[in-house]
Amino acid sequence: MLASASTTAVSAEFNIRASHGESIESPLHKGWQVFEAYVESSSGGRIDVTISPASQLGSIKDALEQTKTGSIQLAHGDEQTLDSFYKPMMILATPYLFANDEEGQRFLNSEFFMDVREKMAEESGLRLLAAASYGFRCFTNNVKPIKSAADMEGIRMRVPPSPMSLEMVKAMGGSPTPVPWEELYGAMQSGVVDGQENPVGVVLDYSFYQVQQYLTLDNHQLGMNALVVNEQFFQSLPPDLRVVLVTGAQMAAATEYGERNYQARVSAVEQLRADGMEVYAPTPEELDTFRTATLEPIQAYLKQELDPAYVDAVYQEIAQIRADLAASVAD
């Protein structure tokens, strides 16, 4: 078997070295395994894929840099890193932009966002092959249940080194505190911070329930994982193999999305309750307080950083998606 695998890799016309930042047990890795299996079989062995999981080749940002330079061909991008390579991708981290996963998925697959992806490929040398939600980011803390924006007052909330996240927590009266990911568990355990925000699946996977008491399902930012390929490599492929690559990436994204969606809505929430966390789902009226508190400050920040017309177009696109969804139900 080893000899056969080695022969396949040597005889392949194209070799893809791929890097992602999650463990081999994660839904993301399962999706990438689907990508590997599909691409290798559907290309008839013309493409060989080698996946390096769990940041073996460096952080998510490091791997994207390597993909940009062509050291590797494929990497994992997310809503927190893509804007470092193409600034308009910053929009993906906008708080309370999407009301649910379906709106997010429709936006990621919309003609509007396809155009953004093409411009990213042209200007950055990185092409986003496919993307999917890995769950909404939610707040946890050790002070009290956060049921409305007013409850954030004074809470020391850990945020990633993202200006958008800083603006969001500050707008609600909290104290945004950047802490490196590798130091987060210890910071919560020692009380350096009162809380943090991540998708529900991450709260479970990394045992944050051991050092956090309250979970609020406010769904403030859509977590997004993407498969990103070096544009020069992608264009070097014959057209039929480009189709194979895109199809495999879409299948990978769908695989991760399905498992993460079930985890975020059902299995992880149930397990966190069983592990002792107090889980709260805000009412529609309470959710409006979060959106109202953050809308103007976040839009003002976005329009300082990006073309205001682009920002307005994004909000208009999502409003249209929301209207289309409502109309489909009414029909």
Token pair for 253: 């994204």
Token pair for 189: 């355990």
Q: Distance from CA of residue 207 to its chain's centroid?
A: 20
Region of residue 164 (left: phi > 0; alpha: psi -120 to 50; beta: else): alpha
Name 301's Cβ contacts closer than 8 Å, sequence gap at least 6: 163, 164, 167
Termini Cα distance of the chain: 55
- Per CATH, the number for 2-330 is 3.40.190.170
pTM value surpassing 0.95: no
Q: Phi/psi at 58 (nearest 5 deg)?
A: 120, 175
Bridge partner list, 215: 140, 279
Full pLDDT tens readout for the chain, 331 residues: 444 444 445 589 999 999 999 999 999 999 999 999 999 999 999 999 999 999 999 999 999 999 999 999 999 999 989 999 999 999 999 999 999 999 999 999 999 999 999 999 999 999 999 998 988 999 999 999 999 999 999 999 999 878 899 999 999 999 999 998 889 999 999 999 999 999 998 899 899 999 999 999 999 999 999 999 999 999 999 999 999 999 999 999 999 999 999 988 899 999 999 999 999 999 999 999 999 999 999 999 999 999 999 999 999 999 999 999 999 887 6
Q: In Å, what is the CA distance from 82 to each residue of 33, 132, 134?
A: 22, 14, 15
